[in-house]
Amino acid sequence: MTGKVLGIVGRVYLALILFFLYAPILVMAAMSFNASEFYQLPFAYSGEWYERLWSNRAILSAAWRSIWIAFVVTGIATALGTAAAIALFRYDFPGKKVLRALLFPPIAIPWLIIGTAMLIFFFGIGLGRGTPTVIIGHVALALPYVIVIVSARLATFDATLEEAARVLGASPWQVTKRVTVPWILPGIVAGGLLAFAVSFDQFVVSYFLSEPGDATLPVLIYTSIRKGFTPEINAISTLIIAVSMSVMLLAARYSNFGGER
Amino acid sequence: MAEVRVENLTKTYGPLKALDAVTLDFRDGGFFGLLGPSGSGKTTLLRAIAGFVIPDDGRVLIGGEPVERVPVEAREIGMVFQSYALFPNMTVADNVAFGLDVRRIRGAERDRRVKDVLDLVQLGDLGQRKPHQLSGGQKQRVAMARAIVTRPRVLLLDEPLSALDKALRVEMQVELKRIQREVGITTIFVTHDQEEALTLSDEIGILRNGRLVRHGPPREVYNNPRDAFTARFLGEANLFSGSLEAGGLRLPDGALIPGATTAMVAVRPENVQVSASEPSGPIRLRAEIRRRIFAGAMGTLILDRHGEPIKAIARDSEFAELPDNGRVWLSWREGSAIPVENAPN
Ligand SMILES: Nc1ncnc2c1ncn2[C@@H]1O[C@H](COP(=O)(O)OP(=O)(O)OP(=O)(O)O)[C@@H](O)[C@H]1O
Ligand SMILES: [Mg+2]
């Protein structure tokens, strides 16, 4: 009896969580296809807002900037993060434990504070605002995620395999390429997808570090909302959510199923 | 093929001497069995030869050439790990071909050498399997094949058979020896199992606390261990110590072992004769039977002499007429008492 009651309570609880998580998103997605500019019901289908997106140059160029920045950040953060994770795995050096521990706090520090700190720092070193600064900032944000995910995968790797490859005549680079990387590939992919998401969805740090003229998509959306809310924003937001969720689902798939292959 | 020599090889980890001035020659084409208790430095010695351990002092020579400047991958060594260390995402054939691939040996030559070596280890049909689809003995063979396909100058085996059960281990010992003979490669073989070392090796060496205490042909080392540690470590030994007199070795209880020339002698359990009636020879010691252990054809008798345990091994039937408990006589033929030094710890 109690088991059954608990089962029902559990299901209701789960349903509530999913409802509060996804209801706003679903409403927004629905409204992006609604003809009325003022969210009036009954619902009448229209692709108008998406068509308007197409001709909105500001949004298009911001979207394009967000995408290419995310790709560049993903490339840099994945390469650096993987190399760092392998180095942490392979070599013992003084301060290794401290370094490893220092990777976690940036994940927990509020982005607002990191953003402020970065702004002060980049002005301090004379780099100022701009796209290169945004990229550096994003890489710094994404790097710990990649290192942590790849390290988790490396923890399941048998280091004797590297020794076996060495005696068989493989140079350290060949060992990395032929033995280590194939094993941790799911971790690298998952880390890369997460790095992409961190960059593509990043608002605070981008807002602080980008120049007013070349905003990324989230920054542009924020500034547009302050001027006035249009259903176009619904449309672009729906697209962003679709992209981000696909990326995250892929990342989850790789980090979960990677373990058993 | 090449001979290997280590000279004065020393490696310390903090206060611990994992290797302590080890000097040793491994004959070209020979099968060298390396023995020693856990932590005595066997793996460290192998890893120093392979190049994974950088010695603090001393050097390694392969084929007469010092190799301290040669990185692991250029030393042309074959190594079989205790865990086999097969690459899990590659097939058996690709595992075996790994050493060829990194040497850019391709095409027909690669395929032929992989096939030949898989035939040699009798795994001809399993090339397309993945390592997780193999039994322990098959993994072992793949590891062997992978190690020798590049025709290395030396083969290093670190307890390659210890993960196998007894019957399979004996089978693989025979295999290992056959393969080593066919290829004729200088082999250094680490094992915990002294019987394995005695059966397989042309020469054995015994390490203790990083020091080489004894080396030589197995029969010679077994028959003349020289010190108490080696006597006990290699096979079993009953040790008798006392004071040296003109007539022999006087034990603390007054009994005499005539003919002994050292303050300590070792007697192998298989040489101890146990009888209910007083023996006629000059060697006569009294002891109490404690336990009789039946193990198939052979039996073991545990006796007690003034609190010291004594072990005797013979065909079980020979113990048949002895009482289950009580006092008996021990004796042995005069040459059976091996003079040994009391090894310091
Ligand atoms: N990397 C290391 N750091 C510190 N100590 C080490 C290291 N490698 C080995 N040792 C120590 O050196 C000693 C010799 O180790 P080694 O592995 O050579 O022993 P072994 O004879 O192979 O033992 P076993 O039979 O248990 O494999 C041990 O006391 C071990 O703890
Ligand atoms: Mg060992």
Q: Which ligand is nearest to the CA of B41?
A: 1
- Cβ–Cβ below 8 Å for B79 and A167: yes
CA dihedral B196, B201, B205, B209 (to 10 degrees): -30
Same domain as B196, residue B251: no
Distance of alpha carbon B84 from the chain centroid: 19
CA of B118 to the centre of ligand 1 (A): 33
Residue B75 lies inside a defined structural domain of this protein: yes
Same domain as B204, residue B249: no
Question: Is the pLDDT higher at A257 or at B23?
Answer: B23
The verdict on B98 touching A (C-beta cutoff 8 Å) is: yes
Q: Which of B210, B229, B248 is the last residue of a domain?
A: B229
Residue A39 lies inside a defined structural domain of this protein: no
ipTM value for the complex: 0.81
Q: What is the longest distance spanned by two Cα atoms in chain B?
A: 78
Q: Please give the Cα distance from B235 to B42 (Å, whole number).
A: 19
Total number of domains constituting chain B: 2
- Which CATH number is B252's domain given? 2.40.50.100
pLDDT given for residue B59 in this prediction: 93
* pLDDT tens per residue, range B84-97: 999 998 999 999 99
Q: Number of C-alpha atoms within 13 angstroms, CB side, residue A172? A: 7
Same domain as B95, residue B37: yes
Q: Please give the Cα distance from B141 to B130 (Å, whole number).
A: 14
CA of A164 to the centre of ligand 1 (A): 19
- Cβ–Cβ below 8 Å for B73 and A178: no
Among chain A, residues having any CB pair with chain B shorter than 8 Å are 158, 160-161, 163-171, 174, 178-179, 182-183, 261
* pLDDT tens per residue, range B279-318: 888 888 888 888 888 888 888 889 888 888 889 898 888 8
Same domain as B241, residue B129: no
* pLDDT tens per residue, range B234-290: 888 888 888 888 888 888 888 888 878 888 888 999 999 988 888 888 888 888 888
Give the CA distances from residue B143 to residues A219, B38, B149, in Å, rounded to whole numbers and listed in that order: 57, 24, 10
Residue A44 lies inside a defined structural domain of this protein: no
**Domain range enclosing B196:** 4-229
Nearest-Å Rg of the Cα atoms of chain A is 22
Give the minimum alpha-carbon distance from A187 to chain B in angstroms, rounded to a whole number.
15
Same domain as B209, residue B317: no
* pLDDT tens per residue, range A139-148: 999 999 999 9
Same domain as B242, residue B225: no
CA of B31 to the centre of ligand 1 (A): 23
Same domain as B270, residue B214: no
Question: Is the pLDDT higher at A118 or at B166?
Answer: A118
- Which CATH number is B205's domain given? 3.40.50.300
CA of A184 to the centre of ligand 1 (A): 29
Give the CA distances from residue B170 to residues B167, B176, B199, B218, B219, in Å, rounded to whole numbers and listed in that order: 5, 10, 10, 18, 20
Residue A116 lies inside a defined structural domain of this protein: yes
Give the minimum alpha-carbon distance from B83 to chain A in angstroms, rounded to a whole number.
8
Residue A103 lies inside a defined structural domain of this protein: yes
Residue B117 has pLDDT above 70, yes or no: yes
Nearest CA in chain A to B95: A165
CA of B42 to the centre of ligand 2 (A): 6
Give the minimum alpha-carbon distance from B215 to chain A in angstroms, rounded to a whole number.
27
Tell me which residue has its CA closest to atom 27 in ligand 1: B38
Residue B39 lies inside a defined structural domain of this protein: yes
pLDDT given for residue B16 in this prediction: 93
Q: Please give the Cα distance from B232 to B229 (Å, whole number).
A: 5
**Domain range enclosing A194:** 56-229
Q: Which ligand is nearest to the CA of B20?
A: 1
Cβ neighbour number for residue A116 with a 10 Å cutoff = 14
Residue B157 has pLDDT above 90, yes or no: yes
Among the partner residues A158, A163, A168, nearest to B98 by beta-carbon distance: A168
Residue B33 has pLDDT above 90, yes or no: yes
Residue A206 lies inside a defined structural domain of this protein: yes
Residue B345 lies inside a defined structural domain of this protein: no
Percent of the residues in chain B that have a pLDDT greater than 70, as a whole number: 99
- Which CATH number is A147's domain given? 1.10.3720.10
Same domain as B246, residue B218: no
Residue B42 has pLDDT above 70, yes or no: yes
* pLDDT tens per residue, range A178-207: 999 999 999 999 899 889 988 988 888 888
Tell me which residue has its CA closest to atom 7 in ligand 1: B13
pLDDT given for residue A259 in this prediction: 45
Confidence band, pLDDT 50/70/90 cuts, at residue B220: very high
**Pocket-testing residue among B42, B53, B211, ligand 1, by greatest number of atoms within 8 A of Cβ:** B42
**Stretch A6-20: mean pLDDT, rounded?**
87
Same domain as B17, residue B164: yes
Contact in structure between A85 and A146 (CB atoms under 8 Å): yes
Residues of B in contact with A90 (CB under 8 A): none
What is residue A112's DSSP assignment? Answer: H
pLDDT given for residue B86 in this prediction: 94
Q: Which of B195, B229, B263 is the last residue of a domain?
A: B229
Total number of domains constituting chain A: 1
Same domain as B129, residue B252: no
Residue A198 lies inside a defined structural domain of this protein: yes
Q: Which of B203, B229, B255 is the last residue of a domain?
A: B229
Q: Which residues have any ligand 1 atom within 6 Å of their CB?
A: B 13, 16, 18, 36, 38-44, 192
Residue A261 has pLDDT above 70, yes or no: no
Among the partner residues B83, B89, B99, nearest to A182 by beta-carbon distance: B89
Confidence band, pLDDT 50/70/90 cuts, at residue A2: low
pLDDT given for residue B46 in this prediction: 95
**Pocket-testing residue among B17, B40, B45, ligand 1, by greatest number of atoms within 8 A of Cβ:** B40
Tell me which residue has its CA closest to atom 16 in ligand 1: B41
* pLDDT tens per residue, range A90-111: 888 888 888 888 887 778 888 8
pLDDT given for residue A255 in this prediction: 67
Q: How are strands ordered across the β-sheet holding B256-258?
A: B243-244, B248-250, B256-258
Nearest-Å Rg of the Cα atoms of chain B is 24
Residue A260 has pLDDT above 50, yes or no: no
What is residue B279's DSSP assignment? Answer: P
Contacts of A252 (CB under 8 A, 6+ apart): A190
Residue A29 lies inside a defined structural domain of this protein: no
Same domain as B171, residue B44: yes
- Cβ–Cβ below 8 Å for A169 and B85: no
Enter the pTM of the model: 0.79
Residue B343 has pLDDT above 70, yes or no: no
- Cβ–Cβ below 8 Å for B102 and A169: yes
Residue B141 lies inside a defined structural domain of this protein: yes
Residue B344 lies inside a defined structural domain of this protein: no
Cβ neighbour number for residue A249 with a 10 Å cutoff = 11
**Per-residue b or e along B76-100, where b marks 16 or more CB atoms closer than 10 Å to that residue's CB:** bbbbbbbbbbbbbebbbbbbbbbbb
Same domain as B326, residue B245: yes
pLDDT given for residue B233 in this prediction: 86
Residue B107 lies inside a defined structural domain of this protein: yes
